[in-house]
């Protein structure tokens, strides 16, 4: 999901409702889950994309410090 960040992927879960988990797994030491949410409409809400993007940027900033 390039709108969130480079390497961000999405898991889609469909049961009675639809759920999404946005994560990044391009690092050897861990898979980082950025955001999980219930989908209530066809489009992914802007607030969910922005939150995952914010967390991605924070993760990348923290990794650069090490």
Whether pLDDT at 23 is above 90:
yes
Give residue-wise pLDDT tens across range 43-59.
Answer: 889 999 999 999 999 99
- Nearest Cα neighbor of 50 from 31, 33, 34 is 34
Cα-based distances in Å from 30 to 6, 14, 24, 26: 16, 25, 9, 8
The whole-model pTM stands at 0.86
- In terms of phi and psi (left: phi > 0; alpha: psi -120 to 50; beta: otherwise), the region of 16 is alpha
The b-or-e profile of 17-52 (16+ CB within 10 A means b, else e) is eeebebbbeeeeeeebebbebebeeeebeeebbebb
User: 9 pLDDT exceeds 90?
Assistant: yes
12 pLDDT higher than 90 = yes
């Amino acid at each position: 999901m390039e709108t969130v960040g480079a390497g961000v992927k999405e898991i889609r879960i469909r049961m009675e409702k639809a759920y999404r988990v946005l994560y990044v797994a391009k690092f050897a030491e861990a898979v980082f889950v950025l955001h999980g949410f219930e989908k209530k409409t066809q489009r992914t809400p802007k607030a969910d994309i922005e939150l995952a993007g914010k967390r991605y940027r924070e993760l990348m900033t923290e990794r650069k410090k090490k």
